[in-house]
Amino acid sequence: MFETLKSQPADKILALMQAFRDDPRTAKIDLGVGVYRNAEGVTPVMRAVKAAEHRLWQEQTTKAYVGLAGDPAFADAMIRLILNNSVPRENIAAAATPGGTGAVRQAFEMIRLANPDARIFVSDPTWPNHLSILQYLGMEAVAYRYFDDSTGGVDFDGMMADLQGAKKGDVVLLHGCCHNPTGANLNTVEWQAVIDLLNDTGAVPMIDIAYQGFGDGLEADAQPTRMVASQVPECLIAASCSKNFGIYRERTGLLMAVSQDAGATAMNQGTLAFLNRQNYSFPPDHGARLVTMILNDSALRADWMSELEEVRRSMLALREQLAGELQRLTGSDRFGFLAQHRGMFSRLGTTPELVEKLRVDHGIYMVGDSRMNIAGLNRDTVPVLARAIVDAGV
C-alpha cells in the first residue's frame, strides 16, 4: 500500500532551518524560523512560566483526562485576555487545541462542517500553513490583496475591492495583530471599514491572533479582535499561547466560536467538542494549565506582563535600529516602514533572487518572499544585515 504514496512538498521554512544548520559559516544570521530570541540568541522560558511549573509540580495530583474541550478555566482566562467584556461570556463557545495551528485547523473543519461550499478569503500573503491546510482539506481559498511591496504598507483599497466579492456563507480570514508574514497592520479606521463590509456582504470573519502583546501591547493588540467580535453576527477566533507565553513546544491554543445569538452557544460548543474527539480526543493540558495559573494569579500575571513588555520593546528597538541604519547607509527613508511594522516579522518587499543573494553572499537566511524574523537579530547583527541589504541591491 505505501508504495502508492507520493512525495509531499517540503515546508519552506523548515527546509530553510535545515539549510541554516548545514551552513558551515560562523557569521550567518537566521531570520527564518518564527520564534522569539533574546540578545543571546536564546528562546527563554519566561519567569512566570517557570514559577507556575514549579507550583504545578508541587500541587498537581493527577494526570487524568480533563475534557474534550480542555479545562473550562483555561477558556475563561483566555477569553478574558482576548475579548475582555466586549462579548458576553454566554455567547462564546471555546475549546482548547494543540497550539494555534490546531485552532486554525479545527476552525476550518468547523467551517467545512457548516458549509462545505464555503470559500475562505485569505490575505496575499499570509502564513503559508493557512493555505497548506486549506488545500489539504479541499477547501477553496480566494486571495485578497493585502501587502503593497512599493510602500511596505497595507494595500487597503485593493483589499476592500477584493473583499467585495465575498458573500454570505464565505469566510474572511484576518490576522488579529502583527500580520504574518508582513508586519503591516490595519489601523482602527480601516478595521471598522472591514467590519462594515463584512456586515454588508454577510461573510463570516475568522481571526487568527497568534502574537497578542508583541505589537503595541496586550490591550491594543486585542482591540481589533474585540471590535470584530462585538459587531458581527458570528465569528471564529483562533488563538495561540506559543509566542506571548513562550511555550512553543507545549502546543497551547484555543478556538472560540462567537455568536450574538446566545442560543447558538450550546450547538457551537458541542460541535467543537465533537471535532476535538474526531481529531485528537483530549487536547494537551500542561501548557493550558500554566497559562491559566499565570492569568489567574495577580503576582504571576504582573511578572508575565512585565517580561512580555520587555520582549515587545526589544523588538521595537531592533526595528528602529535597522530602519535608522538603512537610512544612514542609503540616505533615504525608503526602509522606514520597518519601524512602523509590528510583531516578529517584516517583509522587505524584494525578489526571491535577491533573497537568495543575501543567503549565498552574506549567510543571511530569510524566507523567499523576503519575510524576516526581527527577533532573530540583536544590536550587533543589525548593522551586518543593513550593510548586506544595501550591498545586495535590495
Q: Which residues contact 21 (CB under 8 A, 6 or more apart)?
A: none
**Annotated catalytic residue within 208, 221, 285, 369:** 208
Q: Cα–Cα distance between 38 and 157 in angstroms, integer?
A: 37
pTM (2 decimals)? 0.96
Q: Is 48 a catalytic residue?
A: no
Query: Mean pLDDT in runs of 10 for the chain (394 residues)?
Result: 90 85 93 89 96 97 96 98 97 98 98 98 96 97 96 97 98 98 97 98 98 98 98 98 97 98 97 98 98 98 98 97 97 95 94 95 94 94 96 89
The reply to whether 210 belongs to the active site is: yes
* Strand positions, DSSP E, the chain: 29-30, 92-98, 119-124, 140-145, 147-148, 153-154, 171-175, 204-209, 234-240, 252-259, 345-347, 364-365, 371-373
Q: Which residue has the cell 485576555?
A: 81
Cell digits of residue 341: 511594522
What is the reported pLDDT for 12? 79
Alpha-carbon Rg for the chain, nearest whole angstrom, is: 21
- The angle at the Cα of 65, spanning 59 to 70, to the nearest 5 degrees, equals 90
pLDDT at 394: 85
At residue 243, the pLDDT reads: 97
Cα(271)–Cα(265) distance, rounded to whole angstroms? 10
Verify whether residue 243 is a known catalytic residue.
yes
β-pair type (153-154, 147-148):
antiparallel
Distances (CA, A) of 312 to 23, 250, 272, 281, 305: 30, 21, 33, 35, 10
Go through the chain and tell me how many residues it has: 394
How high is the pLDDT of residue 8?
86
Which residue in the list 77, 95, 96, 127 is annotated as catalytic? Answer: 127
Active-site residue, from 30, 75, 243, 369? 243
Active-site position among 75, 107, 210, 388? 210
